[in-house]
Homo-oligomer: A and B are copies of this chain.
Amino acid sequence: MGRGRVQMKRIENPVQRQVTFCKRRAGLLKKAKELSVLCDAEIGVFIFSAHGKLYELATKGTMQELIERYGKYTGGPQLPDEPMVEPMDAKKEIGMLKQEIEILQKGLR
């Protein structure tokens, strides 16, 4: 968008990169908020700039809460210092999942 096209690769000019970073970061967060409101979704976004600064957005509650929900969804606590349970069962589950993947892949052929 704008006066010229843009190559999808790291912008080398530091000044231009910083300007673009600010603009697009604002745009991204705005879009995230919009999606959240329009479609009743919960969204978490965090951005680490190249220099390590953090920018974040949680459309509902706090980022911590969203991260916890994320952890529950994917299958394990992340930030909490919760000790994990039963490594054995985990390995067993991995084996079964891999098997299922193989079956599915065969189905695709």
Q: Measuring CB to CB, which residues of chain A are less than 8 angstroms from any residue of chain B? A: 6, 8-11, 17-18, 20-21, 24-25, 27-28, 31-32, 34-35, 37-50, 54, 56, 63-64, 66-71, 73-76, 78-79, 81-82, 84-88, 90-95, 97-98, 100-101, 104-105, 107-108
A61 nearest CB across to chain B (Å): 11
CB distance A21 to B8 under 8 Å?
no
- Residue in B closest to A82 when the chains form the complex, CB atoms: B81
CB distance B66 to A38 under 8 Å?
no
- Residue in B closest to A28 when the chains form the complex, CB atoms: B31
CB distance A32 to B39 under 8 Å?
no
Which residues of B have CB within 8 Å of A40?
10, 17, 50
